[in-house]
Amino acid sequence: MNDGGGTHELVVGGLSADVAGRTVLRGIDLTVRSGEIHAVMGPNGSGKSTLAHALMGRPGIEVTGGQVHLDGHDLLALAPWQRARLGLFLAPQYPTEVPGVRLADVLGAALADGPDLAGVIGASVEQRATAEAQRVGLGAKLLERSLNVDLSGGERKRSETLQLGVLRPAVAVLDELDSGLDVDGLRDVARRVAEAVGEWGLGVVAITHYRRLLSVLRPDAVHVLVAGRIVASGGPELADELEHTGYAGYQPE
Amino acid sequence: MPSEAEEIWRYSGIDDFDLGAFSPPAPGRDLTPGELAQARSLADHMGTRCALVVTRNGVVVGIEPEPGLDSATVTVAGAGPLGSGADDGEAFALAPPGGDGDALSVVHDAFLSDVVLVSVGRAVELAGPVVIVHLVDAEPVTSGSVSVFPHTVVRVGPGASAGVVELFAGYGPRLEAAALVVPVSQLEVADGARLAYGNVQILGGGTTQVGLQRSIVGRDAEFRSLTVSLGGRYARVRTDSELAGEGGRSSLLAAYLGTAAQVHDFRTLQDHSAGRTESELLFTGAVADRARSVYSGLIRIHKGARRADARQTNHNLVLSEGAHADSVPNLDIDENDVRCSHASTVGPIDEEQRYYLEGWSRWWPNGSSCSVSSPTWPPARPSRPWSRGWRSRWPSAWPAGCRPKREPAMGDTVRLCARSDIAPGTARRFEVGAYRIAVVRIEDDFYALSDTCSHEDYSLSEGEVFADACELECWKHGSTFDLRTGEPLSLPATKSVPVYPVRVEGDDVMVELP
C-alpha cells in the first residue's frame, strides 16, 4: 500500500474484457496519478463496474487485451491481494457480507502484515479505525460486527470509506460509492475521500451515474463510458453538461 | 490394535500406526528453571489462574497454587495412579474403559505414570481456572520413540463452579520428532455444579495424539468445553459427554486448523441418559495444503431421556485443492418426545467473499491465512437462561474467514467418498446438505438413492443389499427398491424413492444432486 510519500501512477491501456463470453470493455485508456480525481460516468450497462473489477482482478472477468500497470507493476499478472498490496483499493458497488469476520479483525490483519505502513500509522489500528468511523459517521461498535452483515446500503458505503481511511491505498476505485447513501451520508463519504486526496495524495477513480457525488468530490477529469469505450473526456464541466443532456448524445455508432 | 474397518476408526489412518515404534515412558526428571518459566508463560496466555500444574512427559513436575486458593476446599494434586497422594479421601478411580473404549486407552491405563487431580469441594466457586500445562519432549529413548500418557481427573462437587484448562505443548529441540501422546481427561460435574473446560493442543509436528475427554454431568449441572487442536501430525480427540442427571447440560465446542500433511480427527458422543437434558455441539475447522480432518459424531438418546434436546454441528473449510474433510454426524434415538438435530458442511471459502477480502486488505498473502474467532475464554456465565444465551451466540462462532461456501444444492456434483470406502455388496449413508443418500456398491457399480424409505422414516442404507436383483431392502418393514429406478418392488412401500446419478472419477465416488 501507500508508503506515505512519493507519487503513484495507474496506467490503463487498451483494456478489453469479456464477461460470460460477452464483450463488455472495448479498449479503455485511463491514467490516474496521485492526487488526481477521475470520474467515470456512463449509462447502465456501459461497463463501469466491469472496469472496476477488471482493475482489481475479479474472477470471471476475462481480460482479452490491453495492460494495467501500477507504478510499473503489471497488475493483470497478479492476484487481487497482490494488487491490493501494491496500493490498489476497490470499494465495490455491493460490498459482500462476510459472516463471522469482524471488520476490526480484518483491518488488524491487513495492517499487521508487512512493515511498509509502520512509519505512517503512528496510532494503533483500533485508534485509527475509531477515528475514521467518526469521520464517516459510523458508530464505533460497527467495528465489532461481522463485515457488512445486516448493514444498510448506506452503512456499507460508510464502512468502505472507513476502510479506505485506515488502509491508505495509493489509488482507490470507487464503484458507485454514492448509491444507497442519503444526502448526509453522501456528503460525509465524499468529504472523507476528498480529504484523503489532500492527506496522502490518494488517486481516485470515481465511478458514478450522477453528478451529486462530484459536487463535493471535485474531479480533475470526467470520462464518459458508453458501450465499453470512453467516448469523451473533459473537465468538471462535462459532468454538469451530462446532468442536463444525459447520455443520449453519446450513443455508439 | 484397532482397525479402520471399525466405525470409530474410519478415515483415521490407524492401519498405518505402529505401536511397536514407541517405547514406554522413560523415568522422569525435573524441569530446569528455564523450562518452568516457559511453562508459566504458556499458562499466562490463559489469563488469571488460581493454580498451575506442570507435567513433563506425563510426570507431574510442578504444582503452584496462587495465593488465596483455599486448600481445605480445593485440591490440586499430582500423584501416582493408585491414589497415594490423594487427600480427598478417595482413590483416583481411573476412567472406566467403557463398553467401546479405545484400545489405546487400555495402553494408557497400563503405562500412565502420574494423575493430576483437581477436586473442588461442595459449593466452592473458583475465581480463575486451574491451568495444567503438559509439556511433551520427544527426548531420545533407548529404542523407538517416546510415549507419554497424561491423565487428569477433575471433580467439581455439588453446586460448585470451576474452570480447568489443559494445554498440551511440544517443547525442546526435537519438536518434529515422532512421539506418541495418549491423554485421558476424566471430568465429573456433580449435581448443580458447573465446569468450564478448555483443552488446547499445540504439540510438535511429529506427534501422534490419541486423546480421550470423558465427562459425566449430573442433575441440573452444566459442562462447557472448548477444544482447540492446532499441532501434531495425527491428532485425535474423542469427546464423550454423558448427561446422567435430569436437567444436565453440555456445550461442546472445538476449533481446529490443519496445515501441511496434518490430520485432525474428532469423535464425539453426546450421551443422553436422563430426561430434560440438553447438549449443543459445534466443531468448526479448516484444512489447508494436504491436511485432512475427520469428524464423526453420535447423539445417543437412551430410553428414559424424555424431552432431551441435542444439537450437533460440524463445519469445515477446505482451503486448498489437496486438503480434505470428512464429516459424519449420526443420531441414535431410543425415546420419544425428544429434539435432535445435526448438520455438517464441507466446502471452500466463498469465492465472492474471498475476492472482496483480498481486494481491500492484504489479507490473503499465502492463500490460507485465516483468523479464528473463538468464544471468549473463560466463558462467562450467561446472563440469560442458559440455552438461549448460548444459542444466540452460535452464529458468531463461525471460524472467521470462513463460512463454508453454502449448503450443497441442486445441480451440484459432490464427492461422497473413496471407492474403497464402500465394500461390494454393501450400502452406506451420506448426508449432503439436506440430502440423505444411500450409496450401494455392487461389484464395481455404484448406485445412489434417497436413504429414507418412502413408507416410513427409516434408513435404507441399514438394510440388506440384494446384489443379484440389484435391490435394496428396508430393514424395518421389508420393502425392496430397485437401485436403478428407485421403484418399490414389494409392500408396504408404494412410492418410489429418488435416485441420483453417480459416477466414479478416479478413486472418488461422486453424486449429482437433483
CB contact under 8 A, A105 and B369: no
- B388 or A172: which leads in pLDDT: A172
**CA distance readout (Å), B34 to B30, B31, B59:** 11, 8, 18
Question: Looking at A17-26, B141-150, B384-393, B440-449, which range is the least confident one?
Answer: B384-393
Question: Looking at A201-205, A246-250, B94-98, B111-115, which range is the least confident one?
Answer: B94-98
pLDDT at B371: 36
Are both B357 and B257 inside the same structural domain?
A: yes
Residue A224's closest CA among A8, A75, A47?
A47
* Domain membership flag for residue B102: no
Give yes or no for residue B77 having a pLDDT over 50.
Answer: yes
Q: Mean pLDDT, to the nearest integer, of B320-331?
A: 90
Give yes or no for residue B352 having a pLDDT over 80.
Answer: yes
pLDDT at B396: 28
Give yes or no for residue B42 having a pLDDT over 60.
Answer: yes
pLDDT at B503: 85
Q: Are strands B207-217 and B184-189 parallel, antiparallel or unpaired?
A: parallel
Question: Looking at B102-106, B123-127, B129-133, which range is the least confident one?
Answer: B102-106
CA angle B115, B117, B118 (to 5 degrees): 155
Whether B376 contacts chain A with CB within 8 A? no
Q: Give the highest mean pLDDT range of A4-13, B60-69, B141-150, B200-209.
A: B200-209
* Percent above pLDDT 70 for chain B: 85
Residue B295's closest CA among B280, B284, B303, B309?
B284
Residue B62, helix vs strand vs coil: strand
CA of B393 vs chain A CAs: smallest distance (Å): 11
Are both B249 and B123 inside the same structural domain?
A: yes
Are both B389 and B472 inside the same structural domain?
A: no
Question: What domain range includes position B258?
Answer: 7-85+115-397
Shortest CB distance from B360 goes to which of A59, A90, A100? A90
- Closest chain A residue to the Cα of B398, Cα to Cα: A100
Strand partners, A102: A146
Residue B55's closest CA among B112, B117, B141, B132?
B132
Whether B351 contacts chain A with CB within 8 A? yes
* Domain membership flag for residue B100: no
The stretches in chain A having pLDDT less than 50 are 1-4, 114-119
Show the cell assigned to B81.
495412579
Are both B432 and B291 inside the same structural domain?
A: no
Are both B283 and B338 inside the same structural domain?
A: yes
pLDDT at B410: 60
User: pLDDT tens-digit profile of B228-257?
Assistant: 999 999 999 999 999 999 999 999 999 999
Whether B353 contacts chain A with CB within 8 A? yes
pLDDT at B382: 27
CA angle B126, B127, B132 (to 5 degrees): 70
Q: Mean pLDDT, to the nearest integer, of B178-182?
A: 94
pLDDT at B361: 54
Q: What is the mean pLDDT of chain B?
A: 82
**Contact residues on chain B for A173, CB-CB shorter than 8 A:** none
Give yes or no for residue B267 having a pLDDT over 60.
Answer: yes
Are both B349 and B389 inside the same structural domain?
A: yes
Q: Indicate which CATH number applies to the domain containing B424.
A: 2.102.10.10
pLDDT at B7: 79
Are both B239 and B124 inside the same structural domain?
A: yes
Count structural domains, chain B: 2
Show the cell assigned to B139.
527426548
CB contact under 8 A, B353 and A96: yes
Question: Does ipTM top 0.90?
Answer: no
**Where do the domains of chain A lie?**
9-96+169-246
**Contact residues on chain B for A85, CB-CB shorter than 8 A:** 362, 365
- Chosen domain end from B371, B397, B423: B397
CATH code reported for the domain at A9-96+169-246? 3.40.50.300
B135 confidence band (pLDDT: 50, 70, 90): very high
Give yes or no for residue B393 having a pLDDT over 50.
Answer: no
Q: Which residue has the cell 430434560?
A: B276
B348 confidence band (pLDDT: 50, 70, 90): confident
Are both B361 and B463 inside the same structural domain?
A: no
Give yes or no for residue B263 having a pLDDT over 90.
Answer: yes
CB contact under 8 A, B362 and A102: no
Are both B271 and B357 inside the same structural domain?
A: yes
Give yes or no for residue B93 having a pLDDT over 60.
Answer: no
User: pLDDT tens-digit profile of B184-215?
Assistant: 999 999 999 999 999 999 999 999 999 999 99
Whether B70 contacts chain A with CB within 8 A? no
Q: Give the highest mean pLDDT range of A74-78, A100-104, B73-77, B363-367.
A: A74-78
Distance CA B270, CA B302 (A): 11
Are both B384 and B444 inside the same structural domain?
A: no
CA of A251 vs chain B CAs: smallest distance (Å): 32
- Closest chain A residue to the Cα of B395, Cα to Cα: A100
CA of A100 vs chain B CAs: smallest distance (Å): 5
Mutate to test the interface with B, among A3, A81, A147, A168 (most CBs of B within 10 A): A81
pLDDT at B372: 33
CB contact under 8 A, B357 and A79: no
User: What letter does residue B464 receive in the DSSP assignment?
Assistant: -
Cβ neighbours around B298 below 10 Å, total: 19
Do residues B209 and B201 touch, judged by C-beta distance below 8 A? yes
Q: Mean pLDDT, to the nearest integer, of B84-100?
A: 43
pLDDT at A86: 87
- Chosen domain end from B347, B368, B397: B397
